[in-house]
């Protein structure tokens, strides 16, 4: 904690890629916690009165007890998601929250499709097979997988990343269905459907679960979506189905998923996020019918640079008590 005592405009809990740090340093004084902060250290830093704005990561948990005591004006989250922050508590304490929407849509949809293809075509198993020196020539039955063309992709959610995934799946000749707000539903107007009118089917959550060959999760994590995919949903899926999760780990009951993958309730899973990140549910890593990535949905050089720029711009506006360009709770400014 010694390094965090100096009063600065910005407390950066993990250094940002370029140009993030440069923008912050040009705008004010910066404290960087090079090795991240424990929750206790984060609480101490936020309540010390030494920092105006926290530039935060998804692993920094801003719960109501912290926010009620915090003496900061803003939290600029280096992510599009903000499930690590109690937004109602931030707003009632006049703490503005910002995120980085828009820039990581295509990169994350790419990872959803990559996972779908990698599980379907057993890419990781096949790579390991070659590297282990087991490839002795073409064989008619070697590493047979599943098709994607002609199959149905079910999208849980119909936001930016789901739509970018739909665009890609249609190009692969897949049938695309979606449920916009599972486990419930909501109206989707022709205007919202836009380019997808006549190309994708809006179905109920039970129908999506029962009919998808690939079920891909694209909803925010909240009280309604925690364990959206539980044992009952996994049992309602086709035994040949493959689950893809690039959204948030706790949307899937990971222990139930391990059981379902083990006993053939479903055929496979491609995951970029985990219920208790960075820990994996017991048994998950041993399953050959999974492809497991370390939360890299937005991990391209240009995307992370643009996220860093937006994150810094949000933080700079917050330090000046101005509306940030990408606010989550603009109403907090009026308090
Ligand atoms: C990553 O998971 C993000 O929310 O940006």
145 CA from centroid of ligand 1 (Å): 30
Domain boundaries, the chain: 8-103+301-334, 105-292
| CA atoms of 327 and 175, how far apart (whole Å) | 36
Q: Do domains 8-103+301-334 and 105-292 have the same CATH topology?
A: yes
Best probe residue, ligand 1, of 55, 57, 60, 79 (max atoms within 8 Å of C-beta): 79
Best probe residue, ligand 1, of 56, 83, 101, 104 (max atoms within 8 Å of C-beta): 104
83 CA from centroid of ligand 1 (Å): 10
Which is the closest atom of ligand 1 to the Cα of 79?
A: 5
Q: Where are the beta strands (DSSP E) in 85-149?
A: 96-98
Helices 105-120 and 160-171: crossing angle, nearest 10°? 50
Q: Which CATH number describes the domain made up of 8-103+301-334?
A: 3.40.50.720
Tell me the C-alpha to C-alpha distance, in Å, between residue 129 and each of 39, 146, 174, 205, 286: 42, 18, 29, 38, 16
Residues contacting 194, CB < 8 A, separation 6+: none
Tell me the C-alpha to C-alpha distance, in Å, between residue 78 and each of 47, 104, 215: 21, 11, 27
57 CA from centroid of ligand 1 (Å): 9
What's the token pair of residue 322? 């101005």
Burial category of 237 from C-beta neighbours within 10 Å (exposed 0-12, middle 13-18, buried 19 and up): buried
Say whether domain 105-292 belongs to CATH 1.10.760.10: no
- Beta-bridged to residue 155, according to DSSP, are 178, 216
pLDDT tens string for the chain (335 positions)? 444 557 899 999 999 999 999 999 999 999 999 888 999 999 999 999 999 999 999 999 999 999 999 999 999 999 999 999 999 999 999 999 999 999 999 999 999 999 999 999 999 999 999 999 999 999 999 999 999 999 999 999 999 999 999 999 999 999 999 999 999 999 999 999 999 999 999 999 999 999 999 999 999 999 999 999 999 999 999 999 999 999 999 999 999 999 999 999 999 999 999 999 999 999 999 999 999 999 999 999 999 999 999 999 999 999 999 999 999 999 999 87
> If you ran DSSP here, which 8-state letter would residue 17 be given?
P
295 in catalytic set: yes
Helix, strand, coil percentages (3-state) for the chain, rounded to 5, are: 40, 15, 45
| CA atoms of 268 and 261, how far apart (whole Å) | 6
H or E element that contains 318: helix 301-319
């Amino acid at each position: 904690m010694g390094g965090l005592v100096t009063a600065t405009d910005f407390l950066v809990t993990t250094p940002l890629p370029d140009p993030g740090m440069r923008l912050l340093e040009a705008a004010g004084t910066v404290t960087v916690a090079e090795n991240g902060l424990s929750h206790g250290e984060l609480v101490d830093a936020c309540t010390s009165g030494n920092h105006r704005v926290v530039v935060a990561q998804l692993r920094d948990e801003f719960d109501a007890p912290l926010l009620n005591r915090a003496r900061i004006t803003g939290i600029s989250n280096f992510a599009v998601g903000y499930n690590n922050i109690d937004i109602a508590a931030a707003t009632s304490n006049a703490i503005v929250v910002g995120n980085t929407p828009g820039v990581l849509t295509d990169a994350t949809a790419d990872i959803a499709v990559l996972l779908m293809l990698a599980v379907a075509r057993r890419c990781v198993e096949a790579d390991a097979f070659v590297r282990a020196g087991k490839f002795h020539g073409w064989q008619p039955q070697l590493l047979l997988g599943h098709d994607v063309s002609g199959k149905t992709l079910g999208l849980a959610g119909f936001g930016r990343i789901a739509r970018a995934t739909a665009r890609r799946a249609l190009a692969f000749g897949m049938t695309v269905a979606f449920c916009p707000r599972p486990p419930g539903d909501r109206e989707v107007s022709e205007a919202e459907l836009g380019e997808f009118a006549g190309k994708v089917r809006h179905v109920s959550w039970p129908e999506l679960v029962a009919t998808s060959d690939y079920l891909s999760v694209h909803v925010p994590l909240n009280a309604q979506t925690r364990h959206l995919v539980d044992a009952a949903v996994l049992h309602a899926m086709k035994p040949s189905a493959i689950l893809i999760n690039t959204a948030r780990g706790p949307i899937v009951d990971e222990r139930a998923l391990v059981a379902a993958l083990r006993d053939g309730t479903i055929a496979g899973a491609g995951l970029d996020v985990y219920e208790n990140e960075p820990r994996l549910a017991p048994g998950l890593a041993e399953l050959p019918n999974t492809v497991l990535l370390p939360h890299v949905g937005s991990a391209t050089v240009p995307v992370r640079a643009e996220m860093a720029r937006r994150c810094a711009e949000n933080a700079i506006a917050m330090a000046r008590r101005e509306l940030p360009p990408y606010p989550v709770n603009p109403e907090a400014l009026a308090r």
